[in-house]
Amino acid sequence: MSLESKIPAGPLAEKWEKHKFNVKLVNPANKRKFTIVVVGTGLAGASAAATLAELGYNVEAFCFQDSPRRAHSIAAQGGINAAKNYQNDGDSVFRLFYDTIKGGDYRSREANVHRLAEVSTEIIDQCVAQGVPFARDYGGLLDNRSFGGAQVSRTFYARGQTGQQLLLGAYSALSKMINTGKVKMHLRKEMLDVVTVDGAAKGIVTRDLVTGKIESHAGHATLLCTGGYGNVFFLSTNAMASNGSAAWRAYKKGAKFANPCFTQIHPTCIPVHGDYQSKLTLMSESLRNDGRVWVPKDKKNQKITAANAVKLPEEERDYYLERRYPSFGNLVPRDVASRNAKMVCDEGRGVGVTGLAVFLDFADAIKRDGKATIAAKYGNLFDMYKQITDDDPYEVPMMIYPAVHYTMGGLWVDYNLSTNVPGLYALGEANFSDHGANRLGASALMQGLADGYFVIPYTIGDYIATLPLGKAVDKSHPAFAEAEKAAQGRIDKLLSIKGNQTPDDLHKKLGHIMWEYCGMSRNKEGLEKARGLIQELRVEFNRDLKLIGSNEELNMTLEKALRLEDFLELGELMVIDAHNRSESCGGHFREESQTEEGEALRKDDEFNYVAAWGYAGEGKDPELTKEVLEFENVKLTQRSYK
């Protein structure tokens, strides 16, 4: 099977404009005859649901929280990029495009990324019009900052709560459309399956998390806006209930899963402190602008405490990022910083009780700029750190360690954001589309809102216009009953196992396997071993899972088990993909593919493609389809931060 990316012909900068003109339109009076199912109401889903309803479509929207405002998007701190060039510092659509392609290590499509950069400016206009209180300077205009090592200041922000304010903006637009009746919002309902009829998506099956009721919802098209799957690792910076189930269920119904092994591991998170740990907290990347990263030179000082670190003489410290990367220093990209932290800890020079941490030290910055200046920049982050660890970063160095943060992989989509299953779309973090092998800071929020506000409202018409007018999707089609029965069957099966291990016990085991063999650094033997271990763990899950209660009630253990069952399969696909891609690129580091200096080595001759995996049936190896990437506007170079 070949995959058609449907990238429009013509010069890069004109593709989107031309495409918007060429896509089929649905007559305004006819839109009301179509229903769109939107699963997930984070940035991508809320913006899509609101906009489609404004255009006249009927929308059925779903989230598993008790409000759309609580989607995981709410937690984004840093900011959102846009090529406004308000700072007159040389930014442009092309530069944002170029930075994003390069940052993604040349594993994304030129056309998609250029479109993202183009619509980025409209996002900011839209959000301001909604009343999103972005930071402003004293002249009353919008303020920007440089983020994640970018050479220009193009990041818009709202204190440390940018994701929150953008989501509340999208949520307000959604609320407005719920009030008009054009959107029917389903809260605390979790999608368990996609329903396909003659190969096209016609709706979903959900479980009401309060009553346990399994029910079908039909639509002419279905959009999955269900976020990323970082929680396959158990510990990540994602919210507790973030999961990969919707994408996974779509995969099992025929949608391709692209580049599943591309995960982003963020270098500045608060280290793990015990087995009871439930999630990891991100400390903003901005801290690396002033903090210096170091570990002791000598292994005898492994596990040194922060309090003792203050007394360690300068000549006994190794500022390893500054040493290895003199030009970028502490500001090397996320993947490089993460890998180096792992390396020094593997050498036995990690700090803190577990030896799995490095210092991020502000002593020099405080000496140089004064405590007040540092407090003005990072005060809230320092407070948060103290709140969690009981250590005061003004007095002792912070301890940080990398943690899983974001998944670049996701459902394969074409230029229209359509999966290969007709009528099934994927938006936001749930698709694979724009970030290649590594995502730049402040560009996930941009992508979610671009997809929802400015891309899907155009591209969905191309499909809807091909459907027969006035024909409602028939929920009495046997495909719906079958999908409901299958969902119920899955639940009954899990409830009947009656073993001894809780979903968390098993999920932690999966997390360890993934982190050990498919984390910051990967190799052939390890990945092969991991695949076997995951298969064994699945057997263990099916034999020894412990649940309690019934389906017909609020049952959080059952919810966890259902999500975990999907993670146990998705984890294996990630390992298969990582095994197949024996090059290093972006967040994916294969030990076999490195330069003499130990830096990542990309292999463009062999791997210049998107790996799209298709489900081949229970117990069968997935099928790989390669979408070869073509670069006409940028020259592929190896990244260097020396």
Partner 1 sequence: MAGETINIKLKIWRQAGQGKPGKFESYEVNDVSVDMSFLEMLDVLNENELKKGNDPVHFDHDCREGICGMCSLYINGKPHGPKHGITTCQLHMRTFKNGETIVVEPWRASAFPVLKDLMVDRTAFERIQQAGGYVTISTGGVPDANEIAIPKTVADEAMDAAQCIGCGACVAACKNASAMLFTAAKVSQLAVLPQGKAERKRRALAMLEQHDSEGFGACTNTGACEAVCPKEISITHIARLNREFTRAAFSGSETDYTN
Ligand X SMILES: Cc1cc2nc3c(=O)[nH]c(=O)nc-3n(C[C@H](O)[C@H](O)[C@H](O)COP(=O)(O)OP(=O)(O)OC[C@H]3O[C@@H](n4cnc5c(N)ncnc54)[C@H](O)[C@@H]3O)c2cc1C
Which ranges of 209-333 does DSSP label H, i.e. alpha helix? Answer: 245-252, 306-309, 320-324
Restricting to residues 471-500, name those near ligand X by CB under 6 A. none
Q: Which is nearer to partner 1, 69 or 107 (CB)?
A: 69
Whole-angstrom Cα distance, residue 80 to residue 307? 36
DSSP character at residue 34: -
Closest approach of Cβ 64 to partner 1, in Å? 9
Other C-beta atoms lying within 10 Å of the C-beta of residue 466: 11
Considering only CA atoms, which of 147, 16, 166 is closest in space to residue 91? 147
| By CB under 8 A, residue 28 contacts partner 1 | no
* Per-residue interface string for the shown chain with partner 1, residues 445-474, x marking contact by CB under 8 A: --------xx--x-----------------
Closest approach of Cβ 467 to ligand X, in Å? 24
Restricting to residues 596-615, name those near ligand X by CB under 6 A. none
Restricting to residues 235-254, name those near partner 1 by CB under 8 A. 239-241
Other C-beta atoms lying within 10 Å of the C-beta of residue 642: 10
Which pair of tokens denotes residue 246? 């919707």
CB 165 within 8 A of CB 134: yes
* Per-residue interface string for the shown chain with partner 1, residues 119-138, x marking contact by CB under 8 A: ---x-xxxxxxxx-xxxxxx
Q: Which is nearer to ligand X, 63 or 258 (CB)?
A: 63
Site for ligand X (CB under 6 A): which residue of 16, 34, 57, 62? 62
| By CB under 8 A, residue 546 contacts partner 1 | yes
Residue 279 binds which of partner 1, ligand X, none (CB < 5-8 A, kind-dependent) = partner 1
Q: At residue 223, what are phi and psi to the nearest 5 degrees?
A: -110, 125
Residue 257 bridge partners (DSSP)? 411, 613
| By CB under 8 A, residue 17 contacts partner 1 | no
* Per-residue interface string for the shown chain with ligand X, residues 398-417, x marking contact by CB under 6 A: -------xx-----------
55 residue type, one letter: L
Restricting to residues 421-450, name those near ligand X by CB under 6 A. 428-430, 442-445, 448
Site for partner 1 (CB under 8 A): which residue of 6, 7, 86, 542? 86
Considering only CA atoms, which of 40, 85, 69 is closest in space to residue 452? 40
H-helix or E-strand spanning residue 620: none
Site for partner 1 (CB under 8 A): which residue of 353, 472, 616, 636? 353
Q: Which is nearer to partner 1, 142 or 486 (CB)?
A: 142
Residue 360 bridge partners (DSSP)? 293, 398
Site for partner 1 (CB under 8 A): which residue of 210, 376, 539, 616? 210
Restricting to residues 354-383, name those near ligand X by CB under 6 A. none
205 residue type, one letter: V
Considering only CA atoms, which of 587, 580, 603, 568 is closest in space to residue 528? 580
Q: Estimate the crossing angle of helix 478-497 against helix 524-544, to 10 degrees.
A: 90
Q: Which is nearer to ligand X, 318 or 451 (CB)?
A: 451
Considering only CA atoms, which of 414, 447, 149, 404 is closest in space to residue 262? 404
Restricting to residues 448-467, name those near ligand X by CB under 6 A. 448
Could you identify the residue written with the tokens 């396997």? Answer: 513
Distances (CA, A) of 428 to 40, 617, 641: 10, 27, 29
Residue 44 binds which of partner 1, ligand X, none (CB < 5-8 A, kind-dependent) = ligand X
Q: Which is nearer to ligand X, 116 or 312 (CB)?
A: 116
Restricting to residues 173-192, name those near partner 1 by CB under 8 A. 173, 175-176, 178-179, 185, 187
Site for partner 1 (CB under 8 A): which residue of 57, 62, 171, 615? 171
Site for partner 1 (CB under 8 A): which residue of 41, 58, 100, 164? 164
Site for ligand X (CB under 6 A): which residue of 132, 225, 396, 417? 225
Site for partner 1 (CB under 8 A): which residue of 6, 184, 252, 273? 273
| By CB under 6 A, residue 243 contacts ligand X | yes
**In 3-state terms, what secondary structure has residue 621?**
coil
Closest approach of Cβ 552 to partner 1, in Å? 10
Residue 465 binds which of ligand X, partner 1, none (CB < 5-8 A, kind-dependent) = none
| By CB under 8 A, residue 69 contacts partner 1 | yes
Whole-angstrom Cα distance, residue 523 to residue 530? 10
| By CB under 6 A, residue 203 contacts ligand X | no
Whole-angstrom Cα distance, residue 274 to residue 282? 17
Distances (CA, A) of 327 to 98, 148, 154, 641, 642: 21, 15, 22, 7, 6
How buried is residue 500: exposed, middle or buried, by Cβ count under 10 Å (0-12/13-18/19+)? Answer: exposed
Distances (CA, A) of 608 to 431, 627, 629, 634: 19, 9, 6, 14
| By CB under 6 A, residue 44 contacts ligand X | yes
Q: Which is nearer to ligand X, 163 or 571 (CB)?
A: 163
Site for ligand X (CB under 6 A): which residue of 5, 30, 65, 289? 65
**In 3-state terms, what secondary structure has residue 145?**
strand
Whole-angstrom Cα distance, residue 50 to residue 457? 10
Residue 479 binds which of partner 1, ligand X, none (CB < 5-8 A, kind-dependent) = none
| By CB under 8 A, residue 172 contacts partner 1 | yes
Which pair of tokens denotes residue 544? 């020894």
Tell me if residue 334 is catalytic.
yes
Q: Which is nearer to ligand X, 165 or 245 (CB)?
A: 245
Site for partner 1 (CB under 8 A): which residue of 15, 19, 31, 72? 72
Residue 39 binds which of ligand X, partner 1, none (CB < 5-8 A, kind-dependent) = ligand X
Site for ligand X (CB under 6 A): which residue of 19, 31, 33, 72? 72
H-helix or E-strand spanning residue 296: strand 292-296
Q: Which is nearer to ligand X, 309 or 430 (CB)?
A: 430
Which pairing describes strands 183-186 and 58-62: parallel, antiparallel, or unpaired?
parallel
Which pair of tokens denotes residue 460? 């969905």
Closest approach of Cβ 47 to partner 1, in Å? 8
* Nearby residues of 130 by Cβ (< 8 Å), 6 or more positions away: 169, 172, 173
Catalytic residue among 70, 334, 339, 602: 334
Residue 135 binds which of ligand X, partner 1, none (CB < 5-8 A, kind-dependent) = partner 1
Whole-angstrom Cα distance, residue 285 to residue 162? 14
CB 494 within 8 A of CB 547: yes
Which pair of tokens denotes residue 517? 């063999």
Closest approach of Cβ 312 to partner 1, in Å? 19
Q: Which is nearer to partner 1, 126 or 419 (CB)?
A: 126
Residues that bind ligand X (CB under 6 A): 39-45, 62-65, 71-73, 75-80, 162-163, 190-191, 225-228, 237-238, 242-243, 245-246, 282, 405-406, 428-430, 442-445, 448
Q: Which residues are catalytic?
A: 334
